[in-house]
């Protein structure tokens, strides 16, 4: 049960997703629209607010996908959330895109141990393990980026039945072939903001919202990403 009034958004990957939970009702939008996020996101926020007959100032908190994902997409998510936060003085809660997919696996299928992976391009994947705790997916270890052929038993618990989700395993299906205890959900490939609601709600109620100026992205692969920008070494 979501207790707070929440707007959550994510533009970190090819998918653009938004969800508005207001006075017990949920309004949701999801589409794959590569390179169109910045043009579409603000009109879609207005559309959801109009459907719910509410204004931003009526909300309690704004959630955003903080990555990992594409460098530009992550920046769009953070920048839009910050802009909304500055204009309303609402607190922000950032959620990992990997956690969002793990939460979807739990809410849709009841999976309790989930390995999330996003195609990081350049022959690598973003990867993390999550385990359910009080109906919320909790990170085990750390989020990391590496070549999929390096996925081994030090990162996969072979004693627990688990699920794999995300574009990382779609792009590199052989990464999990040696782990018979892990099955892949082909339905879950990209993060969807509606599965941020429980995570954002819990963080907000725990007092973990931050000011807009303190909202941070999560690139995971900082050094490689920065090197691609002009003037950065």
Please check whether residues 18 and 63 belong to one and the same domain: yes
| pLDDT of residue 11 exceeding 50 | yes
| Per-residue pLDDT reduced to its tens digit, 124-161 | 999 999 999 999 999 999 999 999 999 999 999 999 99
Residue 51 belongs to a domain: yes
* Digit-coded pLDDT (tens) for 30-40: 999 988 999 99
| Mean pLDDT, rounded, for 85-114 | 98
Provide the pLDDT for residue 16.
97
Does residue 232 belong to any structural domain of this protein? Answer: no
CATH of the domain at 55: 3.30.420.40
pLDDT of amino acid 225: 42
Please tell me whether residues 212 and 144 are part of one structural domain: no
126 and 92 both lie in a single domain:
no
Residue 165 lies in a domain: yes
* 111, 73: one domain: no
Q: Residue 228 pLDDT > 90, yes or no?
A: no
Residue 83 shares a structural domain with residue 104: no
| 156-169 per-position pLDDT tens digit | 999 999 999 999 99
Q: Same domain, yes or no, for 92 and 199?
A: yes
54 lies in some domain: yes
Kindly state whether residue 170 falls inside one of the protein's structural domains.
yes
Are 151 and 164 contained in the same domain?
Answer: yes
In a domain, 233, yes or no: no
**Claim to verify: residue 142 and residue 201 sit in the same structural domain:** no
pTM for this predicted structure: 0.93
Provide the mean pLDDT of the chain: 94
- Give the model's confidence band at 222: pLDDT under 50 very low, under 70 low, under 90 confident, else very high: low
Domains: count for the chain: 2
CA 143 – CA 159 distance, rounded (Å): 21
Mean pLDDT value of segment 200-218? 97
Asked whether residue 46 is domain-assigned, the answer is: yes
Residue among 2, 89, 76 at smallest CA distance from 45: 76
Edge-to-edge order in the sheet of strand 113-121 = 136-146, 124-133, 113-121, 162-165, 182-184
Query: What are the tokens at 66?
Result: 């903080």
197 and 86 together in one domain: yes
CA distances from 107 to 30, 99, 110, 196, 229 (A): 17, 12, 6, 11, 38
pLDDT recorded at residue 232: 34
User: Could you tell me if 22 and 48 lie in one domain?
Assistant: yes
Check whether residue 212 and residue 156 sit in a common domain: no
Question: How many other CB atoms are there within 10 angstroms of residue 51's CB atom?
Answer: 14
* 11 and 77 both lie in a single domain: yes
Burial 134-157 (b: 16+ CB within 10 A, else e): eebbeeeeebebeebeebeeeebb
Query: CA 164, CA 188: separation in Å to the nearest integer?
Result: 9
Q: Could you list the residue range(s) of the whole structural domain that residue 106 is in?
A: 97-184
For residue 86, tell me if it sits in a domain.
yes
**Tens of pLDDT along 38-83?**
999 999 999 999 999 999 999 999 999 999 999 999 999 999 999 9
């Amino acid at each position: 049960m979501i207790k707070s009034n929440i707007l959550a958004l994510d533009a970190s990957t090819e998918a653009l997703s938004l969800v508005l939970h207001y006075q017990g009702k949920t309004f949701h939008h999801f589409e794959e629209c590569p390179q169109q996020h910045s043009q579409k996101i603000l009109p879609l926020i207005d559309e959801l607010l109009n459907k719910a007959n509410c204004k931003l100032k009526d909300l309690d908190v704004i959630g955003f996908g903080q990555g990992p994902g594409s460098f530009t997409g992550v920046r769009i998510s953070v920048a839009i959330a910050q802009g909304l936060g500055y204009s309303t003085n609402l607190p922000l809660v950032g959620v990992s895109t990997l956690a969002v997919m793990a939460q979807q696996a739990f809410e849709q299928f009841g999976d309790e141990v989930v390995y999330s992976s996003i195609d990081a391009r350049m022959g690598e994947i973003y990867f993390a393990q999550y385990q359910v705790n009080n109906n919320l997916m909790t990170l085990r270890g750390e989020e990391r980026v590496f070549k999929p052929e390096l996925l081994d038993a030090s990162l996969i618990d072979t004693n627990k039945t688990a699920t794999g989700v995300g574009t990382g395993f779609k792009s590199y299906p052989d990464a999990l072939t040696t782990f018979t205890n892990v099955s892949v959900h082909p339905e879950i490939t990209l993060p969807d903001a509606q599965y941020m609601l429980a995570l954002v709600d819990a963080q907000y109620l725990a007092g973990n919202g931050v000011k807009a100026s303190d909202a941070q992205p999560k690139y995971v692969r900082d050094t490689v990403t920065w090197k691609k920008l002009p003037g950065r070494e």
